[in-house]
Amino acid sequence: MTIRTIIAATLALATSAQAAPDDRIAIAAKLRDTALASNPAWPLLVDLTDSVGQRLAGSEAEARGRAWAKAAMQKLGLVNIREEAFPITFWQRGQESARVLGSNHSLAITALGNSGATPAAGLTAPVACFDTLAALRAAPDAAVKGRIVFIDHRMTVTQDGSSYGINGGVRRAGPAVAAQKGAAAVMIRSLGTDHHRNPHTGSTSFPAGTPAIPAVALALPDAELVGRLCARGPVQVHLVSTPTSQPGQSANISGEIPGSVPGEIVVLGGHLDSWDIGQGVFDDGAGVAITLAAAATIKASGPQPRRTVRVVLWGSEEIGVVGGRAYGEAHKQENIVLAGESDFGADRVWRVESRVAATGLPLFSEIAAALAPLGVQPQPGNDSGGGADVGPLAALGSGVLELAQDGTRYFDYHHTPDDTLDKVDRAQLDQNVAAWTTAIWLAASDDRPLRTKP
C-alpha cells in the first residue's frame, strides 16, 4: 500500500459517504466507535487474571484457563466452541539460585524453558564470558568445556520490538551452542529492557543429540555485575536449577460467529498459556481479552458477517509454539482466508500490516482508512509475518492481518514476575479492541479473495 492509495481510498470513502453510503464501511465506523466507548476486554482480563492467574503450558492452571475461555465464549454468544488437545513436553521449573563464590553476591536468575537440571545440590564451575553469541560460536571447545558459559549482549528499546528478533538467538540457540562445546551450564543476560532485578524467562531448545544442560537468565543488573567481575579476573559461580520434563497435554480453544455464506473463515486470537513467574497479563491475557472482546462487539452490535469469524486461543505457545503448529496441521483443509493474532502486550496499535493476495489489497486500504482515526498507520509492503501462532496458517496460504502494537515498554515486563494487571493502560487496551473489531468486521463482511495460496 502506498500513501497515495490510502489518500485515494480516504477521499473515495468521504465522497461515497455523502453520495451513496457504503454499508460495510459505515458499519465498521460504528463498530469501531462502539468498541472504543464500551467493550468487555478489561473485565475479561481482570477475571482471567484474578480467577486463573499464570497458565504454564501443560499445567493444571492452563487447563483451568481453557475452562475459563470456553465459559467466556459461551457468555459472549460465540458458538461451535471446540477444545482440540495435543501432546506436549511439560516442563516445570524447580529450585533455582546462584551465587558468586568468594563474594557475597547472589544472582537473580530464572531457568529457561526446556533447559536441563543441575544436581539437586547444584554445581560449581568457572565462568567463561562472551560478549555475544557470535563470540561463543567462534570460541574453541577448550575455552568452554566444563564451564558455566555467560553470554552478554545488548537489547535496546524499539517501538516495533525488532531488538528482540535481533537478540533472540542468544536465548533460543545460545544454550545449545554452549552444550555442543561441552559447557556445564549457561547463564544469559535476560532479553529485556528494564533495570530491575527481574530475570526474563523464555524457552530455549536443544536439537536431537545435544544434551539439555542447565540454562538460566540473569536479571540485567546481575548480568552487568557478572560482566564487570569477568573483566576483573576469574569468576566461579555455584548454580542450582532443577527443572523437570515429562509428557503432558495442552489444547487449543475456539468459538465462532457463523457467517451467512459458509466455507470462508477469518481467524483472530491470542495464546492462552503464559509463563509461570508472572500473571500472564501482557503475555498474553491481553491478546485473549482483546480478540474475545472484538468478536463480542461484532456479535452484539453488528449484522451477521458474510464470512465466519473464529476466535482461536492457542495453547503452549511459550514452550515451542506447539499449539500454533497443531492448529495449522489440524485445519489445513479448511478455507481460512485470513488470520491474525494479538500477542504483543496491551499497548496501542500503531500500524496495520498485511500479507494477502493482490485481490485483497483494496480491503487493506479500507481497513487503513477506517483505523486512521485510532492513530494507526499502514505499513508499506505486503509481507507481514503475522506472529508465531499464525505462522503455520500463513505458511499454508491464509492471508495475514497484523495489528502491530507499541512495544516501547513491552520488554520491561515480558516473561518476568512484573507481567501483572497494574501495567495495563485501559484506554490503550480499548483502542486495541476497536482496531480488531474494525479490521475483522471489514474482512468478514467482504468477498474479495485474500489467500496467498489456494
Cβ-based neighbours of 404, under 8 Å, separated by 6 or more: 160, 344, 349, 350, 351, 352, 353, 379
User: Binding to Zn ion by residue 152, rule CB under 5 A?
Assistant: no
What is the Cα–Cα distance from 449 to 281, expressed in whole angstroms?
35
**Which residue lies nearer to Zn ion by CB, 152 or 318?**
318
Least distance between Zn ion and beta carbon 409 (Å)? 15
Contact 9, 366 (CB under 8 A): yes
The CA distances from residue 43 to 72, 232, 235, 410, in Å, are 11, 52, 49, 21
Of the candidate residues 273, 343, 353, 406, the single one contacting Zn ion (CB under 5 A): 343
Least distance between Zn ion and beta carbon 55 (Å)? 11
Least distance between Zn ion and beta carbon 173 (Å)? 19
DSSP secondary-structure letter at 131? S
Q: Which stretch binds Zn ion (CB under 5 A): 92-100, 121-129, 281-289, 291-299?
A: 281-289
Size, binding site for Zn ion by CB under 5 A: 3
What is the Cα–Cα distance from 191 to 357, expressed in whole angstroms?
35
**Which residue lies nearer to Zn ion by CB, 211 or 385?**
385
Least distance between Zn ion and beta carbon 436 (Å)? 16
Least distance between Zn ion and beta carbon 324 (Å)? 11
User: Binding to Zn ion by residue 284, rule CB under 5 A?
Assistant: yes
Cell numbers at 444, concatenated: 468478514
Cell numbers at 412, concatenated: 520491561
Q: Which stretch binds Zn ion (CB under 5 A): 88-96, 122-130, 217-225, 275-283?
A: 275-283
DSSP secondary-structure letter at 113? B
User: Binding to Zn ion by residue 283, rule CB under 5 A?
Assistant: yes
User: Binding to Zn ion by residue 347, rule CB under 5 A?
Assistant: no
The CA distances from residue 248 to 98, 260, 337, in Å, are 29, 39, 32
**Which residue lies nearer to Zn ion by CB, 243 or 269?**
269
**Which residue lies nearer to Zn ion by CB, 264 or 284?**
284
**Which residue lies nearer to Zn ion by CB, 42 or 282?**
282
Q: Which stretch binds Zn ion (CB under 5 A): 244-252, 284-292, 328-336, 368-376?
A: 284-292
**Which residue lies nearer to Zn ion by CB, 192 or 259?**
192
**Which residue lies nearer to Zn ion by CB, 216 or 313?**
313
Q: Nearest 10 degrees: CA dihedral of 111, 223, 417, 167?
A: -80
Binding flags for Zn ion, 177-216, as an x/- string (CB under 5 A): ----------------------------------------
Least distance between Zn ion and beta carbon 114 (Å)? 16
DSSP secondary-structure letter at 203? B
Least distance between Zn ion and beta carbon 82 (Å)? 22
Query: Which sign does the torsion angle of CA 37, 418, 65, 432 carry?
Result: positive
**Which residue lies nearer to Zn ion by CB, 305 or 391?**
391
Cell numbers at 330, concatenated: 489440524
What is the Cα–Cα distance from 228 to 356, expressed in whole angstroms?
49
Query: How crowded is residue 8: how many other Cβ atoms within 10 Å of its Cβ?
Result: 13
Site for Zn ion, rule CB under 5 A: 283-284, 343
